Amino acid sequence: MTSLAVLGVGRIGGECAFAAATLGIIDELILADIYKPLLRAQALDLLHTNIEIPISTETARIRDADICIFAAGSPRNPSIKTRADLFDANLPVAQECIQHLKSFEGKLIVVSNPMDIFCYYFQKKLGMPREDCIGFGGQLDSRRFEVALEGRGIEEAAYVLGEHGEHQVPLFSHLGRDILPSEREEILSELRGSSMEIISGKGGTAFGPASHIIDLIRMLKGEKRETITASLSLDGEYGFQNCAMGVPVSVSSDGAKMIGEWPLDAWEREHLDEAGAFLQSLCRRLDV
Ligand SMILES: NC(=O)c1ccc[n+]([C@@H]2O[C@H](COP(=O)([O-])OP(=O)(O)OC[C@H]3O[C@@H](n4cnc5c(N)ncnc54)[C@H](O)[C@@H]3O)[C@@H](O)[C@H]2O)c1
Ligand SMILES: O=C(O)C[C@H](O)C(=O)O
């Protein structure tokens, strides 16, 4: 019996609720949103599917969920250049939503941007074990990296560490082929822009992130164990603390456990240092 709470049932929250229900990986949905007509519409629309699943819109029930997805708050639009630019708009949303998570003992999947910042915020403010507060984005960034490599004739599993944002760090040194710094920068710039084309074309990303969030839920349910990258509060790993950042983790029903530090070459180390310094500077603005 797995209950999934979704805090913020807009584009990505709604897609995750629908996908999790359709795929039969959860047994109960708890939906919440500040905009009541949308909340009612999402609950009704789900009720009209052929999926028989209990749906609650009682916010008091969020704290009893096994898994909660935090997807409330504003998304980017073409005039909002970076995910970090959403900090001021979405911090009050996180501050409001944390009230529903007091005494929550499940696994929290943080989706809203800037995701690394809110992952750190919830983990510290709620005093959660860091394994249970997982920032989502690394799987998506890693897949986008694979797609960029495939376009260059390289078919390999690939990973991205660092910020889910401008300071993402694709790991080139783990590939079977040398990629020169100039081509690395070209790919990095492609990755930085990869979601904006979707946002401009259809208003926001949904299928890509939702499919990986579903995978993450399966891992948290113990249906499969996988090594992915996800944001976790750091305690000195890679030389950083007082922030959360994308790192390699193994995910199971025990949550996301760091699996040690993957070796980095000089280019990757330099970019990861920039990511860490940037995220620390934003996290310093939080009242935690
Ligand atoms: N980490 C990722 O890979 C990833 C992927 C997609 C979207 N996102 C982020 O997820 C967030 C949501 O994106 P979206 O496209 O679903 O946006 P959206 O506008 O479609 O949905 C956001 C929902 O949050 C609700 N909301 C706002 N304030 C709230 C509050 N105080 N309490 C409860 N609900 C509240 C809104 O009413 C809305 O329904 C954005 O910050 C976006 O950047 C992250
Ligand atoms: O790019 C965004 O603003 C949305 C999300 O973080 C994504 O990567 O799809």
Q: Which residues contact 26 (CB under 8 A, 6 or more apart)?
A: 2, 3, 4, 20, 53, 67, 217
The reply, when asked if residue 184 is annotated as ligand binding, is no
CATH superfamily of 3-135: NAD(P)-binding Rossmann-like Domain (3.40.50.720)
Q: What is the arithmetic mean of pLDDT over 159-165? A: 98
| Ligand 2 within 6 A of CB of 113 | yes
Q: Which tens digits make up the pLDDT trace of 192-231?
A: 999 999 999 999 999 999 999 999 999 999 999 899 999 9
Q: Are strands 168-170 and 107-110 parallel, antiparallel or unpaired?
A: unpaired
Q: Which of 100, 164, 167, 212 is catalytic?
A: 164
Q: What is the arithmetic mean of pLDDT over 155-181? A: 97
Q: Please give the structure tokens belonging to residue 244.
A: 């959360």
Q: Which tens digits make up the pLDDT trace of 6-46?
A: 999 999 999 999 999 999 999 999 999 999 999 999 999 99
Cα(2)–Cα(237) distance, rounded to whole angstroms?
Answer: 32
| Best mutation site among 6, 12, 40, 76 for ligand 1 pocket (most ligand atoms within 8 Å of CB) | 12
| Ligand 1 within 6 A of CB of 35 | yes
**Is 167 annotated in the active site?**
no
Ligand 1 centroid–CA 117 distance in Å is 15
What is the complex's ipTM, to 2 decimals?
A: 0.99
The reply, when asked if residue 189 is annotated as ligand binding, is no
Looking at residue 96, its amino acid is E
| Ligand 1 within 6 A of CB of 164 | yes
Cα(94)–Cα(71) distance, rounded to whole angstroms?
Answer: 10
Closest listed residue to residue 44, CA positions, set 18, 73, 11: 18
Chain mean pLDDT for the chain: 97
Cα(204)–Cα(281) distance, rounded to whole angstroms?
Answer: 27
| Best mutation site among 80, 119, 145, 199 for ligand 2 pocket (most ligand atoms within 8 Å of CB) | 199
- Residue 69 is predicted with a pLDDT of 99
The reply, when asked if residue 50 is annotated as ligand binding, is no
Domain with CATH 3.90.110.10 in the chain: 138-283
The reply, when asked if residue 130 is annotated as ligand binding, is no
Domain with CATH 3.40.50.720 in the chain: 3-135
CATH dotted code for 138-283: 3.90.110.10
Q: Which tens digits make up the pLDDT trace of 135-150?
A: 999 999 999 999 999 9
| Ligand 2 within 6 A of CB of 139 | no
Q: What is the arithmetic mean of pLDDT over 88-117? A: 98
